[in-house]
């Protein structure tokens, strides 16, 4: 099982994400974050990366296929077109659903897989609090 402190950090940041989402208006979801992004794009971005992590961990546990590194910058750039096109409320809803699914997959991850990810300097794949927290703070800064 993944380290308890990681599971707790993920749960706390998922709760922050859910609390933020619960108070956003439709106007808030289309507020500009800069760089061509608006608030709902940040939610869609998080949903993609959490879905990737959930799938990767479940596949590894089921089929023994380990994590492979991606060029995150290339992936983010390639996805931006589709993330911007998503319905803002759908993007926000998916972000919360996927965060919870990723948290469950991370909690289910056997120690040998978690230890290997950490040893290979990929702890960020288990500890989602940094990435989610970064975007929560970005959104909160724009909302004032």
Query: Do 39 and 33 form a contact (C-beta atoms < 8 A)?
Result: yes
Q: What domains lie within the chain, and their CATH numbers?
A: 4-143 (1.20.120)
Measured from the Cβ of residue 124, the count of other Cβ atoms closer than 10 Å reads 14
Contacts of 60 (CB under 8 A, 6+ apart): 66, 67, 113
pTM (2 d.p.): 0.94
Residue closest to 52 by CA, chosen among 73, 67, 40: 67
The one-digit pLDDT tens for each residue of the chain (144 residues) are: 668 999 999 999 999 999 999 999 999 999 999 999 999 999 999 999 999 999 999 999 999 999 998 999 999 999 999 999 999 999 999 999 999 999 999 999 999 999 999 999 999 999 999 999 999 999 999 998
Task: Name residue, tokens 């809803």.
Answer: 93
Query: Do 34 and 19 form a contact (C-beta atoms < 8 A)?
Result: no
């Amino acid at each position: 099982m993944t380290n308890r402190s990681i599971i707790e950090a993920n749960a706390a940041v998922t709760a922050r994400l859910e609390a933020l989402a619960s108070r956003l208006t439709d106007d808030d979801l289309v507020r500009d974050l800069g760089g061509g992004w608006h608030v709902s794009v940040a939610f869609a971005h998080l949903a993609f990366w959490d879905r990737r992590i959930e799938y990767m961990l479940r596949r590894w546990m089921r089929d023994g296929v380990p994590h492979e590194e991606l060029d995150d910058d290339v992936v983010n750039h390639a996805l931006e077109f589709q993330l911007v096109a998503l319905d803002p409320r759908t993007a926000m809803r998916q972000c919360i659903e996927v965060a919870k699914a990723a948290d469950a997959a991370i909690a289910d991850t056997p120690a040998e897989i978690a230890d290997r990810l950490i040893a290979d300097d990929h702890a960020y794949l288990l500890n989602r609090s940094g990435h989610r927290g970064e975007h929560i703070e970005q959104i909160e800064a724009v909302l004032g």
